[in-house]
Every structure is written in structure tokens, then in C-alpha cells.
């Protein structure tokens, strides 16, 4: 073991996995710890993959993605952002995670620093560590108006080694959504300092404001700004298990991104890509259904917890997680295990999400009302009866 590379040895076990392992297989446990809903992928998407398999589409394919999928991605973005996108800026990856890995490998390595507002999805910081780059976490704080990113603190954290800022809005785990002005300010800072932005807008459709998507760097940036957008089919179309994502970037970066795909997994199966095309072209009704479910889930759990008077949180403006603190329970790693034992529900401890996450729990509300109502009732009862 000691002969392994230090960065590999030191890559942390996911703090979410720890409680999942603890609670695995408990009868009746309601799992709200992962970033995954309870619906399988819609049938029309699965069928598209099966048809392609039946047609024998099992050979190597283009590293950047099949033309049909890059076209469908361009059309999808054109519809969603109200301005034209070209297929040449889309690169199909083997998961949103791989999109992050490739974005990181594109801009940072040993000796470099990347700024990450936190709490953040643990895999971001971990992927930076594996790459050899140093993640610099910038803890956000929960004030009366919700979670706040301190732009002065962001600016002050920039050093000559800083190469990029990683922005995840809507945020997993806090539900924070950066407004258009905040995005413009971050972009302005990145432009002035010559930094890259890696923009993780995976949850953009899960937005509880009055629009079909959250504000985006696409609203404020030029096509040739130094932004690598990372995204996935996992959440919008309930395709978590598939491992298909995409990068959107200036087409000039195409050869570099293609090479990094080539030397990591060498492309994505054609039959997976056919399913992704179906999701983009025919999946809007399903996305709407999922977002409506998430909104109901959010309202249910937030209202119920508010009434207990024992929790502290901001109503999430996006994504599908509630990130909340429990009065008198600062050690949420232990709390996660206790809630498995004492309430038969599975939540993820905030410590897994890095600096600023201590004292919080993450609950995924991308679920049908039945399971979520039971889970909420269990949590409320526990809050009302457990001693601080």
C-alpha cells in the first residue's frame, strides 16, 4: 500500500458511502442519502438503447460522440437558452463525473490550485486531489437570506497558482442558486485573473423559481470565454446508472478534450448515446414531471421541518436536496448513523461535503409523495422525541 502513489492512497472514501454501507439492507429503511430519485429511466429511453443493441451497434465510435447526439445536445441548449448552439461545442462523456475529471485534467494538475465554494459534492474536491491539483475550499455561510458566496473571499483566495474556479449552481448539497449578477461577477473576476471556470449546471432544470431553468453562465458569457460546462443525463432523465454526460466548451478545445476522452475511456457506447438522443428529443414531459415531484417534495419536507422548530436551513432554490442543521446535534456523522438506527431513514452527513458542511445533514427529496411522507413523518417524530 505504501508503494502506491500518495494522491491515490489519500483519495478519501466518500463520506456518503460510509452511512450507506452502515444502513444497507435494513428492512424498511427509506434511503434519501444518494443523489438519485426512485424512478427508473423512462421506457422510451431504455427502448432506444435496446433497439440499437438489436441493430448490432456495438463497434467503436467517435470519441467526441455520435453526430446525432451532438446535434440533439445543440438543439436542446438552443431551446433552453434561447440562442443558437453548434454541435461542435458538445463532447459526450462517460458520466458527469468523467466530464468533471476531463475538465479538471484540461486545466489543472500537480502544483495548481482550484477554488471550490463549499459545501460541495465531495467528488469534486476528490477528483481535484487525484489529478494532483490542490482544491481550495471556500466555505459559504447560511445567513438570513440563505446561503451566500462571499465574492471578496473568493477574490482574496486567488494566488499565482490558481487556475480555475469550480462553480456548482444550483448547488448540491445546499440548494443555493447563483443569480445572474453573481454569475456575471464571478465571470468578470475569472476574466480579469485569467482563470478558467468549470461550471457544473447539472441541476439547472431543478429550479424552483419562475422559469424552466436556473440562471446560467450561458446567460452572461461569450462563446469563447474560458468556461468548461460539465453536465449529465443522470438527474433530468433518471439515468443515474447509465454513466453518460457531456462537456460544453469552445470548439477550439475539441482536440484536447477528444484526446483526454481517448486516454481515459475512449468514448461512450453507441447504444447508450441513442438513448441519450431519445432523452433530449422526447424527454421534456418527463423532466417536467420530475421537477414537479421535486418541488412537492421540497415543500413537504421543508414545511414539516420548519414546524418542529428544531432545524435550521434555507429553502432550496434549486437541485433536489435539503441541507439542514439540527439544534443540539453538531456531530452529523454520528447523527447519520443514529437516524438509521432510530428513525430508519438514510441521510448523508454534511461533513462529507467539506468545509462549511459540518453540522448539517443532506436529504434527497427527489421521491414520490408516499415514501417521502413516511420519511418526513419519521424524521419529525425523531426530532420531537429525541433528546438534544
**Closest to its own copies by CB, 135 or 359:** 135
Closest distance of CB 71 from its own copies, Å: 19
**Cα within 13 Å of Cα(321), Cβ side:** 31
Binding residue for its own copies (CB under 8 A) from 123, 296, 308, 344?
A: 123
**Closest to its own copies by CB, 90 or 233:** 233
Binding residue for its own copies (CB under 8 A) from 25, 27, 28, 59?
A: 59
Report 330-359 residues binding its own copies (CB under 8 A): none
The two beta strands, 90-93 and 360-364, are: unpaired
Closest distance of CB 271 from its own copies, Å: 8
C-alpha pair distances (Å), 370 with each of 190, 232, 249: 45, 27, 41
Report 73-112 residues binding its own copies (CB under 8 A): 94-95, 97-98, 101, 105-112
Q: What is the DSSP letter of 28?
A: T
Counting contacts by CB under 8 A, is residue 300 touching its own copies?
Answer: no
Closest distance of CB 69 from its own copies, Å: 14
Stretch that binds its own copies, among 52-60, 84-92, 304-312, 376-384 (CB under 8 A): 52-60
Report 305-324 residues binding its own copies (CB under 8 A): none
Stretch that binds its own copies, among 5-13, 172-180, 295-303, 355-363 (CB under 8 A): 5-13
Cα 177 from Cα 319, distance rounded (Å):
9
List helix spans (H) across the chain: 6-9, 15-23, 43-54, 67-81, 96-107, 122-131, 151-156, 180-193, 254-262, 270-282, 284-308, 332-343, 369-385
Quick one: cell of 296? 412537492
**Closest to its own copies by CB, 9 or 307:** 9
Report 229-288 residues binding its own copies (CB under 8 A): 238-243, 252-253, 255-256, 258-260, 262-272
Cα 263 from Cα 267, distance rounded (Å):
9
Closest distance of CB 65 from its own copies, Å: 13
Q: What is the DSSP letter of 318?
A: B
Q: At what angle do helices 332-343 and 369-385 cross, to 10 degrees?
A: 110
179: left (phi over 0), alpha (psi -120 to 50) or beta: beta
Closest distance of CB 253 from its own copies, Å: 7
Report 196-215 residues binding its own copies (CB under 8 A): 196
**Beta-bridge partners for 83:** none
Amino acid at each position: 500500500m505504501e508503494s502506491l502513489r500518495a494522491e491515490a492512497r489519500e483519495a478519501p472514501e466518500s463520506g456518503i458511502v460510509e452511512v450507506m454501507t452502515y444502513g444497507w439492507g435494513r428492512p424498511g429503511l427509506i434511503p434519501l442519502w444518494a443523489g438519485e430519485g426512485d424512478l427508473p429511466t423512462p421506457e422510451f429511453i431504455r427502448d432506444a438503447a435496446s433497439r440499437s443493441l438489436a441493430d448490432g451497434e456495438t463497434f467503436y465510435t467517435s470519441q467526441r460522440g455520435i453526430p446525432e447526439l451532438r446535434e440533439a445536445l445543440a438543439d436542446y441548449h438552443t431551446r433552453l437558452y434561447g440562442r443558437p448552439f453548434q454541435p461542435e461545442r458538445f463532447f459526450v462523456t462517460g458520466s458527469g463525473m468523467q466530464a468533471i475529471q476531463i475538465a479538471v485534467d484540461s486545466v489543472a494538475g500537480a502544483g495548481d490550485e482550484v477554488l471550490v465554494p463549499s459545501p460541495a459534492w465531495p467528488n469534486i474536491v476528490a477528483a481535484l486531489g487525484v489529478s494532483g491539483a490542490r482544491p481550495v475550499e471556500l466555505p459559504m455561510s447560511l445567513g438570513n437570506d440563505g446561503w451566500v458566496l462571499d465574492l471578496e473571499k473568493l477574490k482574496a483566495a486567488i494566488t499565482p497558482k490558481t487556475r480555475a474556479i469550480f462553480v456548482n449552481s444550483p448547488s448540491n448539497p445546499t440548494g443555493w442558486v447563483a443569480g445572474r449578477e453573481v454569475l456575471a461577477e464571478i465571470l468578470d473576476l475569472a476574466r480579469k485573473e485569467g482563470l478558467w471556470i468549470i461550471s457544473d449546471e447539472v441541476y439547472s432544470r431543478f429550479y424552483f423559481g419562475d422559469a424552466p431553468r436556473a440562471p446560467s453562465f450561458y446567460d452572461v458569457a461569450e462563446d469563447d470565454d474560458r468556461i468548461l460546462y460539465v453536465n449529465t443525463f443522470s438527474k433530468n432523465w433518471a439515468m443515474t446508472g447509465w454513466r453518460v454526460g457531456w462537456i460544453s466548451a469552445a470548439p477550439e478545445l475539441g482536440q484536447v478534450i477528444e484526446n483526454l476522452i481517448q486516454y481515459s475511456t475512449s468514448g461512450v457506447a453507441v447504444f447508450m448515446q441513442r438513448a441519450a438522443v431519445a432523452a433530449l428529443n422526447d424527454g421534456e414531459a418527463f423532466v417536467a414531471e420530475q421537477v414537479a415531484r421535486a418541488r412537492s417534495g421540497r415543500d413537504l419536507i421543508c414545511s414539516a421541518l420548519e414546524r418542529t422548530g428544531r432545524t435550521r436551513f434555507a429553502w432550496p432554490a434549486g437541485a433536489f436536496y435539503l441541507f439542514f442543521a439540527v439544534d443540539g446535534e453538531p456531530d452529523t456523522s454520528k447523527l447519520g448513523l443514529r437516524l438509521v438506527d432510530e428513525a430508519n431513514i438514510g441521510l448523508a452527513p454534511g461533513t462529507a461535503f467539506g468545509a462549511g458542511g459540518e453540522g448539517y445533514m443532506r436529504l434527497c427529496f427527489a421521491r414520490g409523495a408516499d415514501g417521502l411522507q413516511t420519511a418526513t413523518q419519521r424524521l419529525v417524530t425523531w426530532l420531537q422525541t429525541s433528546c438534544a
